[in-house]
Amino acid sequence: MGTSRLPKPDSRASGETRTATEADLSRLLRATSRTFALGIEMLSRPLREEVRLAYLALRVSDYLEDNRVMATGRKAMALRLWHDVLLRRADVDDFMEALAGDGRRDPIPDAEAAYAASDIVRGLDALGEEARDVIATHASRSTMGMARWAERGPRFEDEADLDDYMHEVAGRVGHLLTGLFALRSARVRRRRDRMMEPARQFGLALQTVNVIRGLPTDRERGWVFVPRSFLPPGLEPAAIFDAENQAAAMTAVALLAAKADRHFEAARTYVRLLPRSLPRVRLFCLLPLFFGVRTLAASRANPEVLSGEVKIARRDVRAIKRRATLFGTSNAWVRWYCGRLASAPGGGTVAAPSGVAAQ
């Protein structure tokens, strides 16, 4: 299951070659995350290419963290090497050699990005230096955070531990995106300092929903993202999947849902700070906000989250996208619609665990 090599950037390349490269990267992103691709493809150039490459770089890091074929030490080593590649301190060919290792490959979606790392690096190097620096700075910090947690292991004593992990894998993404938006908007540059904390919490909101919907699949790779402080004394997080502990498990899910609610309030603040003169950027941010709120509504108090991954129906995805496109410039409507989605009865579909972690 290989990924085709992309042509190296060439200032003499034809428009057709550049378009083909962008098309290949777009297909690569859709192979790893259709949800992210949906929003990214609505952005205008050059922001579209910058955000696409940022997400692809992070998908490489996600594979290194989530895969089930690397030992812990090898994961941490590969993550640190990818960090150095992003900062131009190491050659991507050395990374590809280390990735190949013993020849085993975990067939999770993010593998497509990891094994196309050379193409992603060439795409990053073709960007303007300011954009590349923003991506490399925040993506490399996230990658080092993943390396630290890979070595620490899946033990979360309290909410502060969970927040620390989620900041590394998701909060920093909010900082990265805000940095890219600021390159394209003087208004965002003026508001950047005010936007950084709600940007971080936006990432934490989405990651908290991922924790809930990914409980059974994350368990398969040995990680249960439930703080011990959310459970009765003496109950191990892995035991929440036992039938006799369902009440305790659903109490923990309720605490996670309440946590997501708090972070989503900050996410709405972030959207309000985005200028209405950037409708595509607002739409790009509104889609994961609305999808996250709707998924949370379908997951809350739903014991099926312990056995399968809750997904919102395709008809809901289409309806949310349509309404966000029509009304998303109105901050009052955004607040109203979030409330409507949050109060909607369950209606997500539940997929049996497939072994793919929901990170």
The pLDDT tens digits for 55-76 are 999 999 999 999 999 999 999 9
Each residue's pLDDT tens digit, 13-70: 334 444 437 788 989 999 988 778 889 999 999 999 999 999 999 999 999 999 999 9
pLDDT score for 33 = 83
pLDDT score for 251 = 98
pTM: 0.89
Q: Is a pLDDT exceeding 70 seen at residue 346? A: no
CA atoms of 235 and 281, how far apart (whole Å): 44
- Indicate the domain borders of the chain: 16-128, 154-347
pLDDT score for 17 = 41
Read off the pLDDT of each residue in 125-151 and give the average, rounded to a whole number: 97
Q: Is pLDDT larger for residue 167 or for residue 221? A: 167
pLDDT score for 348 = 56
Q: Which fold has domain 154-347?
A: Farnesyl Diphosphate Synthase (1.10.600)
pLDDT score for 358 = 32
Q: Mean pLDDT over all residues of the chain?
A: 90
CA atoms of 319 and 329, how far apart (whole Å): 17
Q: Is a pLDDT exceeding 50 seen at residue 98? A: yes
pLDDT score for 4 = 36
